[in-house]
Structures are given as C-alpha cells and as structure tokens.
Structure 1
Amino acid sequence: MILYFILTTILAVIHIWADHKSYWKLCYIFKPLTTLSIIALALSLYNSAQPLTLLVLVALGFSLLGDIFLMLKSDRFLAGLQSFFAAHLCYIAWFTTNTSLTLEFYFIIPLLIIGSVYMSQVWPKAGSLKWAVLAYGSVLQLMVIAASSFYFAFESTTAGRMALIGAVLFMFSDSVLGFSRFVKNWRYSHGVVLVSYYLAQTLLVLSLLPY
C-alpha cells in the first residue's frame, strides 16, 4: 500500500507543478495518471467478500471521467459536474450500505449554515449553471453527511476517520473550485483545489480498510 501512496504523491506533484507552469501537455498525461494510481490503491484494498466495495471503484471511474472533462481546453464544466455528481452518489451508496444514516445535528447544522452562506455567494453568479451548481452542492453535502454517518458508526477505526476527513476535504476542494470559477479567482486557487482533491480521493479510498 505504501508504494501506491508514493506513486500517487509523485504523479500528483508533477501534475500540480505542470498545472502551475501551464504545461498543458504534461497535465493531460499526469492528471489521469494520478487518478489511475488512486484507483490502483482502491483495487489493492478491494474485498471480493464484500461486493459493494465496488461502489468506490465506480465512484473513482466517474471521477476520472470528470477529471478529463475539466482539464479539456473546451469548456466542459457541466459534463465534469455531472460526472462528479454520479461519483458522489456512489460514495453515498457506499457509506449508507455500511450503516444507517445518522443525523448528528451538532455536525449537520454548521455544515448546512456554511453551505448556505457559500451558495449565497456562488449561486447568483453561476449564470446558466445555477441549478446544476445547486444540485451538485446539495449532493456534495449529502455525501459529507453520509460519510459522517459512516464515521459515527466506525469512529474507532481508521476507515471511519479517513471517510469523514476525505469527504470534508472533497467539499473544501470543490468549494474553492466553484468560488474561483464563479466569484473570484486567485493565483494559487487551482493548486489548492488539486492538493485537497487528491488527498480527498486517497482518504476516501482508505474507507475500504477493514473496520
């Protein structure tokens, strides 16, 4: 497993550096390669005795598709959004098949408040994508809530902790991406998006660890 972490880190660093330098040809190679290395990590943790772990692999497959759409020169943002929407549905299914949905209001209420404040800034500036952005933000929050249920059910395990941290990081990454696209971009925003995104996907995969 350590080898997969090392490989993913190397590929991610190269991609983030290439993205910062605008070396697009390298981005086209190393962005999908980084996600493929995370998929390889998931495959190494796949448990054939628990077939529903396949949901994580399907989520990563949709994520890979979303990665490809978002890195294209033509604006395929909506297609990327749809791909990651499907990925989140798979993650939600994975978390909720392992435990019943638990609503811990001391966690959910701050999450909903933060989400509402964020959406109040992004939604008015999203143009024709307003409803798509709202739908995506809703399923993203639901994924974090599902991950929190998984955590509260298995909080003494590494899998539970990784699931929740990964989900929160995914929400953070997408929030920065949405803000930089629709409200205000800044120099290092894409680097922040990529670092948090790769960490999020890797940690979500670690929810496959035995618990």
Structure 2
Amino acid sequence: MLNKTNLTILFFIVFVAQLFSLLTENEWVRFITKPLITIVLMLSLVMLNQLYGKFRKRIFIGLIFGLLGDVFLMLPANHPSYFMLGLLSFLIGHLFYISAFNLDIQSSTKKASNVFLISSILLAIFSGAFFLYLRPYLGSMQIPVLIYCFIISLMVMLSIGRWGKVDKSSALFITIGAFFFLISDSLLAYNKFVLPLENSGLYVMSTYMLAQFFIVQGTISRVLLSKEEN
C-alpha cells in the first residue's frame, strides 16, 4: 500500500535520478525520469485525496499539462515548435493552478491583507523589469513571453492570496511551490534567451521539481477555513 511517506520517497528517488541524468548526460535516464516527476505527483493526489473537490481536480489537470510540457521540452531543442508547445502546455497548467487558487480566495469575503497587496506590487515590478530586460533578446517570442510572465506572476500572487483562507501548512507549501516555479521559469528564460548558464539544467529542473512537489503537498494538506468545501 502506497502511503504518503512511500510516495514522498518515490518522488525524491525520481528527483535524484533526474539530476543524476543531467550530471552524467544520460539521455535514457532523463527520458524515463522526467515524465515520472508529474506522474508520481498525480499518483499521490489520487492515492491520498481521491481527487475530492474542485480544487484538487484542477491541480490534477494542471499536472497533466505539466507532464505534456515536460515531454515537449525533452524533444530536440533546435525545433522551435516543441519549445512553443511546451510553453503553451505550462501556460495552460498555470491557468488551472490559478483557477484552483482563486477558489480558495473566493471562499471567504475577508478583505485582502496588506502582505498580499504589497507582494502583488513587488511581483508586478519584478515581472515587468525582467520582461524589459529580456525583451531585446526575444525577437518573435516577445508576445508569448510577455503573456507567460503575466500568468506566472498572477499564479504566485494568488498563491499568497490564499493565506488566511486555508490552513497555514497548505498556504505555506503552495506559496513556496509558486515561488520555486517563478525561479525555475526565470532561470529557463535567462538561459535560453540571454546567456547559457553552466549546469543550467540542474538549476532549472531542481527548482521546477520542488515547485510541483510543494504545490501538491499543499493540495494534499489543504483545509478550508470556511465551511464550504470546493
């Protein structure tokens, strides 16, 4: 029987194997372990939560699009269509995460905290500044990257907006996961469009895997502070 501990151990076996494949440039291990990242997390949601409620179902669908994004980005990097399909898959996945987080925000009429408002302003400033920095290097990718910057920033903002609407562990885990996503995508964009980084795959994949892991942990532990379950 797979319990939470066993599923966590299984995930970190995949985590280490994926990083090992990048360090050793072992394509076979990389092609096996990369899809397993989201597959193990989807299995965790099904085994531990039975996908109860709209929130968990939307996170699950987001993981499916994360799996598609992983597969597309594994394909030959010199084919721009694969990168665009990967970008689109993750964009749709983030939209499902946004939709899930918004359920929690709408679960209470409690006024937004000052922390949420301040963090939203800071995130908007960071995303705008980062896009302006990338812009000279983007060429025809300006619009897709601008849209992606907006969506990932909104996802992080809404993860913070859940504070006070759900239990603290869920709020903390999902906020950490969202910030890891922001870091991972920022590293990926810098590496692809500005300057290739040494061991970029290790940094991008480790932060990406932690992002998905913490979002799923926050989903598993989620308890609404209002009476109605979504």
Partner in structure 2 of residue 26 of structure 1: 29
In the TM superposition, residue 119 of structure 1 has moved relative to its aligned partner by 1.0
Go from structure 1 to structure 2 and tell me whether the alpha carbon gap of 1:17 and 1:83 turns closer, same or farther (over 3 Å shift): same
Give the unaligned 5+ runs of structure 1: none
| 2:182 paired residue among 154, 171, 178 | 171
Q: Which moved more, 1:67-76 or 1:130-139?
A: 67-76
Aligned partner of 1:40 in structure 2 is 43
Q: 1:49–1:20: structure 2 CA closer, same or farther, 3 Å change rule?
A: closer
Aligned to 1:153, the other structure's residue is in SS state coil
Shift of 1:105: 2.2
Q: Which amino acid aligns with 1:9?
A: F
Aligned length: 210
Q: Is the 8 A contact 2:45 2:51 kept in 1?
A: no
The alignment status of 1:183 with 2:194, answered yes or no, reads yes
Matched residues in 2 for 1:151 and 1:180: separation? 33
1:5 paired residue number: 8
Please say if residues 54 and 100 of structure 2, whose CA atoms lie closer than 8 Å, have aligned partners that are also in contact: no
Given that 2:184 and 2:203 are in contact with CA atoms closer than 8 Å, whether structure 1 keeps it comes out as: yes
Equivalent residues in 2 for 1:198-209, closer than 5 Å: 198-208=209-219, 209=221
Instruction: Give the Cα–Cα distance (whole angstroms) in 2 for the partners of residues 73 and 49 of structure 1.
Output: 38
Q: Which residue of 1 aligns with 2:124?
A: 112
Q: How far did 1:48 drift? A: 5.1
Distance in 2 (CA, whole Å) between partners of 1:172 and 1:157 is 22
Distance in 2, matches of 1:94 and 1:15, equals 28
Percent identical pairs in the alignment equals: 28
> Structure 1 residue 47: deviation in Å?
4.8
Gaps of 5+ in 2: 224-230
Give the match for residue 59 of structure 2.
56
Q: Which amino acid aligns with 2:63?
A: L
Q: 1:151 is paired with a residue of what secondary structure?
A: coil
Aligned partner of 1:149 in structure 2 is 161
- Give the root-mean-square deviation of aligned CA atoms: 1.7
Larger radius of gyration: 2
Which letter does structure 2 place at the counterpart of 1:199?
L
Q: Structure 1 pair 43/112, CA: closer, same or farther in 2 (3 Å)?
A: same
